[in-house]
């Protein structure tokens, strides 16, 4: 197994913490949030996809990737993330853009340093860890919102 295959397999498996939550999602769940918290379930779904698309574009150099990172721009939940079909399509679009760009990386590419304004200079190997942990972190929040919100 190549390094790229291992990272792809790890990212794909880790992302199931997020996608498994989407299987039983109902539109009325999208506004759920925990008491004294800011982010609704819908916001978290959109945010995960926004960040995956930013990674595709800014970390892996897919300049043709279209992303309007509304959750990053707003920096808070605006209450607009209530269209389930749109959110599910958008998160799939994020997956469908990030997966092939990961697949294109050579083993040497993983040691290449990249710099972003969000987290400074990291190797691509460090960056893949960042996107895995980011998605898992927010998937945990999403799970709590859906269960207790």
Per-position pLDDT tens, the chain of length 149 = 999 999 999 999 999 999 999 999 999 999 999 998 899 999 999 999 999 999 999 999 999 998 999 999 999 999 999 999 999 999 999 999 999 999 999 999 999 999 988 889 999 999 999 999 999 999 999 999 999 99
Concatenate the DSSP letters of all residues of 32-78 into one string.
---TT----HHHHHHHHHHHHHHIIIIIT--TT-----HHHHH-S--
CA 80 – CA 67 distance, rounded (Å): 17
CATH number, domain with residue 14:
1.20.120.450
Task: Show the domain range for 94.
Answer: 3-148
Q: Are 41 and 33 in contact (CB under 8 A)?
A: yes
Which residues neighbour 144 within 8 Å (Cβ) at sequence distance 6 or greater? 34
Domain count of the fold of the chain: 1
């Amino acid at each position: 197994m190549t390094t790229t295959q291992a990272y792809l397999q790890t990212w794909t498996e880790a992302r199931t913490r997020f996608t498994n939550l989407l299987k039983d999602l109902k539109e009325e769940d999208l506004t759920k949030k925990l008491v004294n918290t800011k982010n609704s379930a819908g916001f978290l779904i959109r945010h995960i996809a926004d960040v995956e698309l930013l990674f595709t574009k800014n970390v892996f150099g897919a300049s043709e990737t279209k992303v309007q990172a509304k959750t990053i721009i707003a920096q808070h939940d605006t209450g607009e993330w209530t269209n389930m079909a749109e959110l599910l399509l958008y998160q799939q679009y994020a997956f469908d853009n990030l997966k092939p760009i990961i697949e294109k990386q050579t083993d040497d590419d993983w040691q290449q340093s990249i710099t972003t304004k969000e987290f400074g200079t990291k190797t691509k190997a460090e960056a893949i860890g960042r996107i895995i942990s980011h998605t898992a972190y927010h998937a945990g929040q999403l799970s709590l919102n859906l269960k207790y919100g």
